[in-house]
A and B are shown apart, each in its own frame.
Chain A
Amino acid sequence: NAGVTQTPKFRVLKTGQSMTLLCAQDMNHEYMYWYRQDPGMGLRLIHYSVGEGTTAKGEVPDGYNVSRLKKQNFLLGLESAAPSQTSVYFCASSSGLAHTDTQYFGPGTRLTVL
């Protein structure tokens, strides 16, 4: 039982390049989330999904797209990377079964955009 995994762990991009971050969970969770974490700030929600085939915008969605084609995977895409997207990205998942639903986090992806 690996929990929540993220690939890659590190990546350096040039401005304008594109990339996809993959999040996978093996807990059969319905809900999945993408956050970014910047110095001095809390985790900010980029996009989330409440089930396979559904996605919704979070607090800071601009410049990102997501897809949830399979229940266990949640992909975060950057079509044209900008230096402002330099950050640590965390994926999380939760069962969505109760108000006390706990989110389980992946190890993070550190992205630098030059």
Chain B
Amino acid sequence: ILNVEQSPQSLHVQEGDSTNFTCSFPSSNFYALHWYRWETAKSPEALFVMTLNGDEKKKGRISATLNTKEGYSYLYIKGSQPEDSATYLCASRMDSSYKLIFGSGTRLLVRP
């Protein structure tokens, strides 16, 4: 089993702070990297899918970058708001079977 690692496990920030967290994945046989946002008592929802080295994606205050050569992706949140509180999951696809390998997530809590 090839592991996808996320750090930190949890993060507490103040409203207005900017924050970022990391997803590390095996760089061999890379197909795609997914970010999901998972609010408590809800289902994970897709944020971004990235495939190319150097890819950057943005949705509002949230953005992500991808480095496939060294096997990492960063997720950035600018000016965190309490509604950003959630667990952020990354998942890597490493073959053509459409299976995803998920990290254990970074749990973000934004204090008002």
Known: A59-B1, A106-B43. A96 touches B98 (CB 8 A): yes
Give the B interface residue count (CB, 8 A).
24
List of A residues within 8 angstroms of B104 by Cβ: 40-42
Which of B31, B89, B91 is close to A99, meaning CB atoms less than 8 Å apart?
B31
Q: Are A99 and B43 in contact (CB under 8 A)?
A: no
Binary interface encoding of chain A residues 91-108 relative to chain B, with 1 for a CB under 8 A from any of its CBs, else 0: 000101001111111111
* A103 to B, closest residue via Cβ: B100
Interface size on A, residues (CB 8 A): 27
User: Is B99 touching A94 in the complex (CB atoms < 8 A)?
Assistant: no
Question: A19 contacts which chain B residues (CB < 8 A)?
Answer: none
Nearest opposing residue in chain B for A30, CB measure: B98
Residues of B in contact with A (beta carbons under 8 Å apart):
1, 4, 31-32, 34, 42-46, 49, 51, 89, 91, 93, 97-105
